Structure 1
Amino acid sequence: MEETSPVKAKRKDKVEDKCADGETPLDAHSEGPHKKLARISEADNANVELSLNTAYQQKELTQWLQSAWLSQAKSAKEDATGAQIYAEPFQICLLPELLSKGRNQTLVDEMINKVHWSRKQMDLYEFYQSTDLSNMAECKLLTNFLQLLRKQVRPWLEEVTNLKLDYVSASCSMYTCGDYLLVHDDLLKDRQIAFIYYLSPWDNVAEWNEQQGGCLEIFSSDEQCFPQFPVHRKIAPKNNQFAFFKVGSRSFHQVGEVTTFDYPRLTINGWFHGATNESSAADSSRAFPRPSYLQPDVNNKPVLGLLLNDVYLKAATRRSIQKRIEENSEICLYEFFKREKFELARAQLLNDETLAWRRQGPANAHNYEVLDLNTARGTIEELLQLFRSNAMFHLLRDFTDLDLYGVDAITPMCSVELQRWSHGNYTVLGDGLVSDENTLDLVYYLNASEGAAVITYLSPDAAQAQPAMLENGISTDSDAADDTVDELEDEISDDSVLLTITPVDNALNIVYRCEGTTKFTKYVSRNTPLDKGPVFVISCSYRE
């Protein structure tokens, strides 16, 4: 979807009258972001020439940075320029005031008035992006900046990092309120150095605070090269600052959600390319964890009449459900449990402090909490036991005509998980969520809230297209969009969406998905109202 305005249209999953920090968005007649940006356009920038800060051209500073970078021993800061190198969890260098004073205001002017922005939306991100700077001949200052990267920054970085860098790719990114980019490592093909150049040339907001969001958030990783919670370091957008880091199997980072309507997060970002990163290829192909499947609990014999809405115990209702699933492969059963059981379970989840929760990772695959089933008591334990019982297997066989627990069932198995969803939670597409055989999914909501824990199912074709999208670079902080990538994105966002499950209290969603089908749970924006508290999801899968 092409967009020419830098101001993002409101989306259905966003609150239309408030942002996360309580601000009220400005109407069309007040001074919104586009108005404030337009004030920069008043100067005549036709004859402006971009140039590097002379401090970074001094031999002594280059030698200091080279020594600090290559030593890899500890973090360091250079007093004269404020240049910093952080050593943990991976090396990243910050260079304040990259361009000569005042020059980057002219870049912002051109980005707002001449750049054609495309809206990028997937499981991993939502933001605006330009095409590659090499394809923007009409934007003279951005072309000038690209030449500066090629002719001055690239050889300088080679000297500092002792890496052979062949060429640079770059594009512009713009994040408005609610936009984000989730955890990734940038590791692909010949990317050697990733960079971000920040533009925030507004009075009193040259450096953002954490409450405004948009920080570059850095993650540490475990012995298997999986990124771990919590965030290790946050780097806030700062006007005229240049950040770079070596791309590797542990260079995990994300862009935190922007939470202010006042200003967009503007950057020029990309990679310096060199030799193929073969040494890290094995680590980058690590598989995401998969859910554990268990056999039905034969010792548990719940009485369905005490738990389920009486309508779902009737033979006619079961036949009707079976017909719907045969035709559509899915159904939503409203008011599935007796109302009093649902209310007891919801109250317990919100108030029982003996329930133990743990965060589900790794960070590049999942971010939500799951209940330690050993701590389940009372009504919660009763419901969870039901989903693993023989009675549920038999009921699902009646609903679906699948032989989940009949004479022809080979090894009936199920996985049961109770999830807790709050702001900032998500799952992303990956092999751990691709069904490797035909599976029956059950999704049940408690304390539901619109826009939180929304699940999207994608066709097998979309699952196969995802690696191609990654190879084209569209799911990273600095992406060069081309026609092929745009076609893939359009396919995934439209034709390949099989089903979207929206949260409804006390509703059981039944979805039959074939081998190769994948799914993800949409990022919960901080604009999503959770006035009643977190959303709880009982998520189950069954196999014959």
Structure 2
Amino acid sequence: METTSSSPIKPRRKDKDEDGHAVEKEEEQDNNDLVGEPHRKLQRLGATPEAKEVLLNEAYQQPKLTKWLQTAWTTSQGSKEAQTGAQVFADPFQICLLPGLLEQGQSQALVAEIIQKVQWSRKQMDLYEFYQSSDLSNMPTCPLLTNFLQVLRKQVRPWLEKVTNLKLDYVSASCSMYTCGDYLLVHDDLLKDRQVAFIYYLSPWEGAEEWTESQGGCLEIFGSDDQCFPQFPVQRKIAPQDNQFAFFKVGSRSFHQVGEVTTFDYPRLTINGWFHGETNEAFVADSMRAFPRLNYLQPDSLNKPPLGLFLNNVYLKSATRRSIQKRIEENSEICLYEFFKREKFELARSQLLADSDTLKWRRQGPANAHNYEVLDLTTARGTILELLQLFRSHAMFDLLRDFTDLDLAGADAQRPTCSVELQRWSHGNYTVLGDGLASEENTLDLVYYLNAAEGAAVITYLSPDSELPAAKAPANGRRSEYDGEEEDESVLLTITPVDNALNIVYRCEGTTKFTKYVSRNTPLDKGPVFVISCSYKE
């Protein structure tokens, strides 16, 4: 099949809106432009204490406490200090919590200044959705935030050096605000010279000083396997607590995420960033690992399903096939509505929703790449088995040759192969960008939905010409939190769920894709969304 060299998938750009159906550029917005109940709740502070400078809690400046933290940090055993409530956790990696970091009333004064003066940028990518400020070093009109940065530089940094025995050179920090539906998915923060990550929580509203897990926004900590890949389930959750300071050593196992905020009452507000030093050795040692790849198989010669029993008759006509081929040559993609006979589709969907005993599902990881379920194909029965076999049959290879003019069958076919996967998508599921999702060669992707729901299992394709920053696509496929520079990725195509529709996408080498995080705000009243996902190679 002939395609243009400049664009593997014809761009079909749409206005980007807040539903997150495509990667979006950041947008500068003043506080006054931010709308919605969470932003109005940000201003419910009441009387704000006068504050001209930020003051550390005297308890954390005592040599006795510093000595206790040094010991707790180096002994690799979790412990808690009685006077301050400071805690050190050793498992699955070292993390320290310091409640009451600043003197009483300081967090309320900081939030008041944030409300009045901070401008926010909306950050939306495969990995996250939230609001972020500029770096605190670029806020000349915010004296308290500037002072807080100086406290981090001049008081906290040398103190952390004593506690962690690390050489720390400078600090970078910004404000983050997560409103209902916002999140930050699994990453390890490994980038360049980051040594210690920190989060300072701001939640001074009466009744909301300490959040519950049901409100979301927890710092969620992951364990990892022998290859340092993060594993499900979450091992530890740290809920936002006003005036609490958390820090951890950035390393090859420091996997964490910010759980989706589920409350409309208040936003999750923090000052966060990193203490930097020399190049992090863990980043160098870990730089060559990659995600597992799809398993490609040859067409199943034993299975010979008659297409007429399954497909909508219109797609069996020669004229329709020629029309499809022309469309794919021009646009590199097409959506074939009502692809299977309606009765076959209904039988398959009913079986998927009703069969909780025979069908066996496993969670697809690692957590920094995927979070959805895949069917053990050996447990498939009935109509589900028939459809899965059909996608791997010679008859389907022949049909796709007619649709695309690719050498997937016939005398010119060398060694065509395909991968077939049946996925189950529910709240909290996602895939993120990484080298495991970049096509190593030209492929033909098929995406077929059953029990579709708007906003669940939405797939976005990005141009191979869109180079991700090192923070977002390192050689090992690992991801690091947003570090202040975000490029304008080129969205080539967004596939939205439609029942019984077969999406065909010709995908050139280097094209990346991800499946949008399924927010808990997404209605799944009919149950999970099922996706038959296939890739074919000539």
Q: When the two structures are superposed, what TM-score results if normalisation uses the length of structure 1?
A: 0.91
1:420 Cα offset (Å):
0.1
Gaps of 5+ in 1: 10-27
Q: Which residue is equivalent to 2:181?
A: 178
1:2 aligns to 2:28 (yes or no): yes
Q: Which residue is equivalent to 1:439?
A: 443
1:41 Cα offset (Å):
6.5
User: Partner letter of residue 307 of structure 2?
Assistant: L
Q: Which residue is equivalent to 1:514?
A: 508
1:100 Cα offset (Å):
0.3
1:360 aligns to 2:386 (yes or no): no
Question: Which of 401, 404, 407 does residue 400 from structure 1 map onto?
Answer: 404
Per-residue Cα deviation, 1:71-120 (whole angstroms, up to 9, x for no partner): 11x21000111000000000000000000011110100111110110000
* Equivalent runs, 1:190-229 vs 2, <5 Å: 190-229=193-232
* Equivalent runs, 1:18-29 vs 2, <5 Å: none
Question: Which of 346, 351, 354 does residue 348 from structure 1 map onto?
Answer: 351
Partner SS state of residue 103, structure 2:
coil
Question: Which of 423, 435, 445 does residue 419 from structure 1 map onto?
Answer: 423
Q: Which residue is equivalent to 2:518?
A: 524
Q: Which residue is equivalent to 1:374?
A: 378
Q: Which residue is equivalent to 2:7?
A: none
> Contact 1:6/1:34 (CA < 8 Å) preserved in 2?
no
User: Distance between the aligned counterparts of 1:223 and 1:8, measured in 2?
Assistant: 45
Given the superposition, is the C-alpha separation of residues 315 and 287 from structure 1 closer, same or farther in structure 2, using an over 3 Å criterion? same
Per-residue Cα deviation, 1:432-482 (whole angstroms, up to 9, x for no partner): 1111111000000000000000000000022x22436568xxx755x552x
* Equivalent runs, 1:124-203 vs 2, <5 Å: 124-203=127-206
Partner SS state of residue 149, structure 1:
helix
Given the superposition, is the C-alpha separation of residues 449 and 143 from structure 1 closer, same or farther in structure 2, using an over 3 Å criterion? same
User: Partner letter of residue 422 of structure 2?
Assistant: L
1:38 aligns to 2:32 (yes or no): no
1:100 aligns to 2:103 (yes or no): yes
1:351 Cα offset (Å):
0.7
User: Partner letter of residue 525 of structure 2?
Assistant: D
Given the superposition, is the C-alpha separation of residues 61 and 44 from structure 1 closer, same or farther in structure 2, using an over 3 Å criterion? closer
Per-residue Cα deviation, 1:246-301 (whole angstroms, up to 9, x for no partner): 00000000000000111000000000011111244232442111111000000100
User: Partner letter of residue 285 of structure 2?
Assistant: A
Gaps of 5+ in 2: 1-26
1:242 Cα offset (Å):
0.2
1:305 aligns to 2:308 (yes or no): yes
Partner SS state of residue 465, structure 1:
coil
Q: Which residue is equivalent to 1:325?
A: 328
Partner SS state of residue 284, structure 2:
helix
User: Distance between the aligned counterparts of 2:44 and 2:354, measured in 1?
Assistant: 51
Per-residue Cα deviation, 1:331-373 (whole angstroms, up to 9, x for no partner): 0000000000000000000011210000000000000000000
1:81 aligns to 2:90 (yes or no): no
User: Distance between the aligned counterparts of 2:173 and 2:531, measured in 1?
Assistant: 41
1:282 aligns to 2:285 (yes or no): yes
User: Distance between the aligned counterparts of 1:34 and 1:510, measured in 2?
Assistant: 41
Question: Which of 265, 268, 276 does residue 265 from structure 1 map onto?
Answer: 268
Partner SS state of residue 223, structure 2:
coil
1:36 Cα offset (Å):
3.5
Moved more, 404-413 or 450-459: 404-413
Q: Which residue is equivalent to 2:57?
A: 53
Would you say how many aligned residue pairs link Structure 1 and Structure 2? 508
Q: Hey, which bits of structure 1, 4+ residues long, moved more than 4 A?
A: 6-9, 468-471
> Contact 1:287/1:432 (CA < 8 Å) preserved in 2?
yes
> Contact 1:302/1:391 (CA < 8 Å) preserved in 2?
yes
Q: Which residue is equivalent to 1:68?
A: 72
User: Identity, % of aligned pairs?
Assistant: 77
Partner SS state of residue 85, structure 1:
strand
Given the superposition, is the C-alpha separation of residues 398 and 499 from structure 1 closer, same or farther in structure 2, using an over 3 Å criterion? same
User: Partner letter of residue 516 of structure 1?
Assistant: G
Question: Which of 448, 456, 460 does residue 456 from structure 1 map onto?
Answer: 460
1:119 aligns to 2:145 (yes or no): no
Partner SS state of residue 232, structure 1:
strand
1:403 Cα offset (Å):
1.1
User: Distance between the aligned counterparts of 2:253 and 2:471, measured in 1?
Assistant: 22
Aligned-residue CA RMSD in angstroms?
1.6
1:497 aligns to 2:491 (yes or no): yes
Q: Which residue is equivalent to 1:429?
A: 433
User: Distance between the aligned counterparts of 1:224 and 1:128, measured in 2?
Assistant: 33
Per-residue Cα deviation, 1:412-448 (whole angstroms, up to 9, x for no partner): 0000000000000000001111111110000000000
User: Distance between the aligned counterparts of 1:524 and 1:5, measured in 2?
Assistant: 27
Given the superposition, is the C-alpha separation of residues 39 and 421 from structure 1 closer, same or farther in structure 2, using an over 3 Å criterion? closer
Per-residue Cα deviation, 1:356-399 (whole angstroms, up to 9, x for no partner): 00000000000000000000000000000000000000000011
* Equivalent runs, 1:233-244 vs 2, <5 Å: 233-244=236-247
Partner SS state of residue 45, structure 2:
helix
User: Distance between the aligned counterparts of 2:310 and 2:327, measured in 1?
Assistant: 23
> Contact 2:471/2:480 (CA < 8 Å) preserved in 1?
no
Moved more, 35-44 or 301-310: 35-44
1:319 Cα offset (Å):
0.7
Question: Which of 517, 531, 537 does residue 531 from structure 2 map onto?
Answer: 537
User: Distance between the aligned counterparts of 2:432 and 2:451, measured in 1?
Assistant: 23
User: Distance between the aligned counterparts of 1:232 and 1:443, measured in 2?
Assistant: 33
User: Distance between the aligned counterparts of 1:42 and 1:355, measured in 2?
Assistant: 58
More helix by share: 1
User: Partner letter of residue 445 of structure 2?
Assistant: D
User: Distance between the aligned counterparts of 1:91 and 1:6, measured in 2?
Assistant: 40
Q: Which residue is equivalent to 2:13?
A: none
> Contact 2:303/2:393 (CA < 8 Å) preserved in 1?
yes
User: Distance between the aligned counterparts of 2:64 and 2:470, measured in 1?
Assistant: 44
